[in-house]
Amino acid sequence: MTATATFLDLPTEVIILIVCLLPLREVAACKRLCRRIRSLIQDSQLLQYHFRTMCSGVEDLFLPGIGSHEFLKSLVQWEMAWQKFDIGERFARHRYQNVLWTVEHIVQNGHIVAMRLVDSSWLTTPGWSYADISRVLLRGGESPQALSWTDIQLDTSISPKAYVLDVNQDLVAMVYYRDAMWRRIEIQFLRFSTGRPHDLARGAALDLELNCRSPSDCEIAMEVMGPFLIMVVINRTRLRLSGRHQKIYFVEWKEGRMRCVRRVRDGTYFPVVAFVSKDLIILARKRDFSFEVCEISQGDDCSTSILRTVCILRLPSLHPSTRVRFHMRNRTPFASNSSTPALRSNRLPFRSSPADALLGFEVSVRRHSRPGSENRRLAFWVHHNTFRKYAAEAAKHPRISLFSKSSRGLRGLASRLVNGISYAFSTPPVLHWVEWGPTSTRWRECSDDLRDRQTLAGMRCAVVNHGSLTLMDFSPGRLALLLAQHSQENAKLKVVVSPTKIKAGRCFLRDFTSQLPYCESTKEEIRNRVLMDDEWILQFEEGLFGWEGYIDFHSILPIDNACESSANILSLSSL
């Protein structure tokens, strides 16, 4: 009788390929199985690259023709640069003219973008300008030729209201007023590179009817993920007339279809919306100060979309008379499966993974009462995976349908009626703050300094405050790696696991804590606005009254390091 084959009897190459498919926790567990598996993981460059990639929280963009040795070398250099977070000497400088309240700068996919949302009254036309940072190859150039800008100008007769940008899809979804009475808004899907209508949108221009007295009466929040776009339209008006409620729209921009998936009362939601997976979004509710996790699903006829509330996550309790402003700050967009070849620049063989990216929020609370008042500004961060986790737990207890959805005729009609009534009267699970918030979030008080701003890149957040820059790395793999190495508190990169306590006052009912762990490093003498992505750090040095300033480009990695590909040169300094 032949002996039964075991896992260790497999060829070495097969074992390596199997371990490469395991998650981070399972790879660490495999190292404790036996000496052979441990030696394979330590000696195999492919497994080491796979292990370090997961620890750093980056997405593997392994290209054909590049060996794992070059990738591992690049990854080690990239990790060391982020641990030191040494900006170093200026790599390139660009002078720009700007009015602060008309231009918003964004760094995405190796491009710097200046979005202009106000008309040409300040010598700027509606549109945007962008530059490929990877093309900046001159050291310390003071001339504008050091950075080549492409200017996109829109029609001066339109007034842009909101936009969403996805450089990976070469897409800008622009919402603007079409008439001078602010009664109609139009949505166009344009190519980011040219400003022309996007080819995949099939020339679709969607419009909505509004009843606004001024542009300030309407707030719009948008988010795009692949072929889908979610949009929240909020009419801020004191008159509760018919048709002036908040509406949530689901748009399939490649098909040119838009549907209203929810119509709610005024004052229900903040202008905040974000995708956390392909079929899950989060909304911020005003009435009970909480997150609402919603699932987008197809209707019975497969031609309509349904927005179903999965669960509600409460935030810290507030006094009833507290006024709140809720904002998202520099959210990390979902990466598309493919990037437009025209916009594909030289870049590292990896980027921050969108699977567990970070969401940053800012909360302003205000309460007037005798004998005084209180105004506070706070920021907090939470992972995408947190919302997916509680949505999956809520899905373990689905509602029981009395009839099958596939039933037709009278039985199908009864099924839809019963399911609709059961959904209308059922309540989604509600998790209070103490059940989920302390371990899943990290809060901090913000100063009144205007330069106390945050910028996100994957699972990292950089905050400039009082002349210093604080980098917070929330990657779980990096945290586990540093904890295993027994990182010292006096090191440049330290692990923060102690809770942050926010004191109660006139706004918050009681004290609350947050203890989401992160790695922290501080860089002194940073007084300017900072934007960053995986390969670049940009400092904005603003001149008097914001009319003129400089953009300093700093590469995270040393300039002389490079990784050569069969297709192109992957310059670690110019990405």
Count Cα atoms within 13 angstroms, Cβ side, for 461.
25
Most confident range, picked from 145-154, 175-184, 246-255, 501-510: 501-510
Name the β-bridge partners of 282: 274, 293
pLDDT value for 67:
73
pLDDT in tens, 136-165: 654 444 444 456 788 888 877 777 888 898
pLDDT value for 138:
46
Count Cβ atoms below 10 Å from residue 139 Cβ, excluding itself: 12
Most confident range, picked from 341-350, 396-405, 478-487, 544-553: 478-487
* Neighbouring residues of 39: CB distance < 8 A, sequence distance ≥ 6: none
pLDDT in tens, 378-396: 999 999 999 999 999 988 7
Q: What is the mean pLDDT of residues 435-460?
A: 82
Count Cβ atoms below 10 Å from residue 42 Cβ, excluding itself: 11
Three-state SS string across 483-497, please? HHCCCCCCCCCEEEC
Global pTM? Answer: 0.82
* Neighbouring residues of 321: CB distance < 8 A, sequence distance ≥ 6: 367, 368, 369
pLDDT in tens, 307-355: 889 999 999 999 988 999 998 876 666 555 555 656 665 556 677 776 7
Question: How far apart (Å, rounded) are the C-alpha atoms in residues 539 and 550?
Answer: 8
Contact between residue 378 and residue 443 where contact means Cβ atoms under 8 Å apart:
yes
Contact between residue 52 and residue 75 where contact means Cβ atoms under 8 Å apart:
yes
pLDDT value for 399:
52
